[in-house]
Amino acid sequence: MGVFMVLNFQTYRRILWVFACIGMAGCLGRGGDATQNTKIVEGSTPSYLQNLDLLIEESPDNPQLYYQRGRYHLEQNNLLSALADAQKALVLDSLKADYWLLLADVWFKMQKFSDTRSILEKVLQNDPDNIPARLNYAEFQLYLQDYPKVFENVNRVLEKAPYTARAYFIKGMAYLEMKDSALAQSSFETVVDLDPEHFHAHMQLGLLYGARLNPLCESYYRQAMRLNPSKPESYYGLGYYYQNTGQIDKAIDMYKVLLHHVPGNPAALFNLGYLYMLEKKEYKIAIEYFSEAIRYDNKYTEAFYNRGYAFELLGNTTAAAQDYRNALALDPDFRLAKAGLKRLGLAN
């Protein structure tokens, strides 16, 4: 029809990259013996932080506790607190590579890339065979899109430790960015052979098979759901596969499962609106879903446009025109919104 907007696969892959960025913004890598000589089990809950605070009060000179608390703060995106703890751990023990790698993670997330590079290179200069540091450096080069250096560092790891799943995952992401889907798929399949619990490898395989409308994607997406039920991308990926293969009721059900786990997800709400509008012809329900998407993302240009189109299909030209204008306020060059106003006989 050419008059509506649907979230396409390339847009979805960009969303997934934000979801699943392989560790660098959250983090480059944990190192080898992060929990050695601690009294509590590593976690990501407020009670875990409270326990760490108490242990640090009892043992203020234990650098490992600051490291663990810094890692927690990094995962919670409390960057200044993570930085303070990383620096404190290094004051107490400047020879521990894990503490330097934590500081590199913090600098990376703060977008201080020259500091990130200098720390990683310093660690590798002192210990060229440090596998976590070597893989962190490969991921850093992946971010910079320096693929020869990515492969150089990954292959150096695989020479020493040929069954390192993380190394194959980094290779897979590099091949993916280089648009070599066959080698990317091969790398990700090696990852799941070595580590069947690797969520992101299952997701990438789901994406690769789903892009070819291959039903094998379903098993990978469902394994990803099992591994991490709280992450939305597996539900979205499978729902989008069903949508693209004409399994509309299954797609709707999957998007609703996603919303059960992650209420207010704008992409799922948008696609539900799309399916109810174009496939089910239930325009009022579609409007409700587009409105919910806008409530959670008030700059969702496509949702404003599609809601306007649903109003237009209902004959409510006043509401349709307002939503087309809302879309143009966010994106003055939005061609479909301009065309919508033209259909209504209104000036842009």
Q: DSSP secondary structure string, 163-216?
A: T-HHHHHHHHHHHHHTT-HHHHHHHHHHHHHH-TT-HHHHHHHHHHHHHTT-TT
CB 98 within 8 A of CB 30: yes
137's tokens: 């450096």
- φ/ψ (deg, to 5) at 280: -90, -15
Q: What is the structure's pLDDT at 49?
A: 87
CB 183 within 8 A of CB 192: no
Q: What is the structure's pLDDT at 48?
A: 86
Spell out the domains of the chain, with CATH numbers in brackets. 24-266 (1.25.40.10)
Q: What is the structure's pLDDT at 15?
A: 42
Q: What is the structure's pLDDT at 3?
A: 56
Q: Which residues of the chain have pLDDT under 70?
A: 1-46, 348
- Give the number of C-alpha atoms closer than 13 A to the C-alpha of residue 117, restricted to the C-beta side: 9
**129-163 pLDDT, tens digit each:** 999 999 999 999 999 999 999 999 999 999 999 99
Q: What is the structure's pLDDT at 47?
A: 86
Give dist(CA 275, CA 290) in Å, integer. Answer: 11
Q: What is the structure's pLDDT at 22?
A: 34
Average predicted confidence (pLDDT) for the chain: 88
pTM of the model: 0.82
Q: What is the structure's pLDDT at 347?
A: 72
Count of residues in the chain: 348
135's tokens: 């893989």
List the end-to-end C-alpha distance of the chain, in Å, as a whole number: 21
Q: What is the structure's pLDDT at 16?
A: 47
- Give the number of C-alpha atoms closer than 13 A to the C-alpha of residue 94, restricted to the C-beta side: 3
**What Rg do the C-alpha atoms of the chain give, in angstroms?**
24
- φ/ψ (deg, to 5) at 156: -65, -40
Q: What is the structure's pLDDT at 39?
A: 34
Give dist(CA 239, CA 259) in Å, integer. Answer: 12
Give dist(CA 216, CA 299) in Å, integer. Answer: 35
**86-135 pLDDT, tens digit each:** 999 999 999 999 999 999 999 999 999 999 999 999 999 999 999 999 99
Give dist(CA 141, CA 139) in Å, integer. Answer: 5
Q: What is the structure's pLDDT at 348?
A: 59
Q: What is the structure's pLDDT at 43?
A: 53
